[in-house]
Amino acid sequence: MTTPNEPLASIQARIEELHHTITEKEEQIKLRTKKLAADLKKEISPENIIRQHPKKAAGAAFLTGLLLTRALRGHGSPSNRVEHTQHTIPSQHLSAKSKTALSAIGFEVLRTVKDIGFTYLQRYLEKKSDRRAFRSVH
């Protein structure tokens, strides 16, 4: 015969077993999530993208530079820009100091992006030429 405490003890043991299983599964999910986040971060990092597509990255940096330069400097000749600024309403446009500051920031961003892109491209090409030289020697 079973005592009145036996079913209660088996239920308590089952609850503890389920808590243990849930804790294990929770830890496994956390580890998988961390690994997935690290893999995803590595996969979509700018460095990795530039290494995988150096020509496209250099082209994109160049195109971005052209577009930023054109946007910050304007489309026409300097005389057209002066005439345009004389006919605008000051309250609707940025002040001259703001435009100068934005231009400076834009050129710094452009210069930095260009430098990063060309540095990665140069490293990629150097590694590629080193591999070819190593293959030709051996």
Q: What is the C-alpha to C-alpha distance for residues 24 and 30, in angstroms, rounded to an integer?
A: 10
- 38 and 80 inside one domain: no
Question: How far apart are the C-alpha atoms of 86 and 109, rounded to whole Å?
Answer: 29
In a shared domain, residues 64 and 99? yes
C-alpha triplet 38, 41, 46: angle, nearest 5° = 150
Q: What is the pLDDT of residue 114?
A: 81
Q: How many domains does the chain have?
A: 2
pLDDT at 55: 87
pLDDT attached to residue 135: 67
Residues 16 and 66 occupy one common structural domain: no
Predicted TM-score of the model (pTM): 0.35
Range of the structural domain that residue 22 is part of: 1-44
pLDDT digit string (tens) for the chain, length 138 residues:
456 667 778 899 999 999 999 999 999 999 999 999 888 888 888 788 888 888 888 888 888 888 888 877 765 555 544 444 555 544 445 566 767 777 777 778 878 888 888 888 888 888 877 777 666 666
Give the CB-side neighbour count of residue 81, counting CA atoms within 13 A.
11
User: Are 57 and 97 in a shared domain?
Assistant: yes
Same domain, residue pair 132 and 81: yes
